[in-house]
Amino acid sequence: MNGLISSVPSQSAVRLVVSGFLLLTIQSVLLLLSPTLDAAASLLISVLTPIASVAFIAAVVGIPEPPDRDWRSRHGR
């Protein structure tokens, strides 16, 4: 997968960025709606923030794709 820094980013990278930002947006809205920060909100923040951060970092760096397999050479043709 080509990351967002490459000249041709892949669809997976774009999807990871969108989903990461969506998770951060949901987290922000939930924090704005709560009058006080209790234990449940703290747990929600601690779960959503690392997931969104990993999705964003994976999108920027890019995840390596498996190499193409050449089946013709494998069968000796």
Q: Average pLDDT of the chain?
A: 78
Rounded average pLDDT over 33-56: 81
Question: Rounded CA gap, 55 and 35, in Å?
Answer: 29
Pair 14, 59: CB distance under 8 Å: yes
**Structural domain contains residue 76:** no
pLDDT digits (tens, 9 = 90+) for 29-44: 787 677 788 888 778 8
pLDDT of res. 25? 81
> Could you give the number of structural domains in the chain?
1
pLDDT digits (tens, 9 = 90+) for 4-21: 788 888 888 888 888 888
**Structural domain contains residue 40:** yes
What's the predicted TM-score (pTM) here? 0.58
pLDDT over 60 at 58, yes or no: yes
**Structural domain contains residue 69:** no
Domain that holds residue 57: 11-62
